[in-house]
């Protein structure tokens, strides 16, 4: 068993509490499924959002899909001129049998443009 970091991002359609919660849930569920993970293998989750997302903390969305006993941390992304808007990013630290090159990093919707080299 090794400790791995898994990245992902999603662009949501609007700055609303429901869109933020739904987007985080969709992203985390996709990461968990793609990497064959159970909640007890997740060590911690770091979530960021672009400065234009202010309606809710992304951690609320993580809790809604079962991440209630996992340490969560939210932060705001750097406000870079011309950056993709309405993006939530995550980095999960997990225990996994997968090798580093077998990890699936998940980028959904418009966020696929952020990392075309590793987006699934």
DSSP H helices in the chain? 17-34, 58-64
Give the CA distances from residue 32 to residues 36, 58, 93, 99, 107, in Å, rounded to whole numbers and listed in that order: 6, 17, 12, 16, 13
pLDDT in tens, 57-70: 999 999 999 999 99
74 is a catalytic site residue:
yes
| Global confidence as pTM | 0.94
Residue 20, Cβ neighbours under 10 Å: how many? 24
Give the CA distances from residue 97 to residues 3, 6, 42, in Å, rounded to whole numbers and listed in that order: 9, 13, 13
| Residue among 4, 17, 63, 102 flagged as catalytic | 63
Q: Which residue ranges form the domains of the chain, and what is each CATH number?
A: 2-115 (3.30.1330.40)
Strand partners, 106: 8
| Residue among 4, 17, 77, 86 flagged as catalytic | 77
Strand partners, 92: 6, 45
107 is a catalytic site residue:
yes
pLDDT of residue 113: 86
Q: Spell out the per-residue pLDDT of the chain, length 120, in tens.
A: 899 999 999 999 999 999 999 999 999 999 999 999 999 999 999 999 999 999 999 999 999 999 999 999 999 999 999 999 999 999 999 999 999 999 999 999 999 888 766 655
| Residue among 4, 64, 74, 102 flagged as catalytic | 74
90 closest CA partner among 119, 112, 67, 58: 58
| Residue among 4, 19, 86, 107 flagged as catalytic | 107
116 is a catalytic site residue:
no
């Amino acid at each position: 068993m090794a400790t791995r970091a898994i990245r992902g991002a999603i662009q949501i359609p609007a700055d609303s509490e429901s869109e933020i919660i739904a987007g985080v849930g969709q992203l985390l569920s996709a990461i968990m499924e793609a990497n064959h993970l159970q909640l007890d293998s997740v060590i911690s989750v770091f979530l960021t959002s672009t400065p234009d997302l202010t309606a809710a903390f992304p951690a609320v969305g993580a809790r809604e899909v079962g991440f209630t006993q996992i340490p969560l941390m939210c932060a705001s992304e750097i406000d870079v001129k011309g950056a993709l808007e309405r993006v939530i990013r995550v980095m999960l630290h997990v225990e996994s049998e997968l090798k580093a090159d077998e990890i699936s990093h998940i980028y959904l919707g418009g966020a696929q443009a952020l990392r075309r080299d590793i987006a699934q």
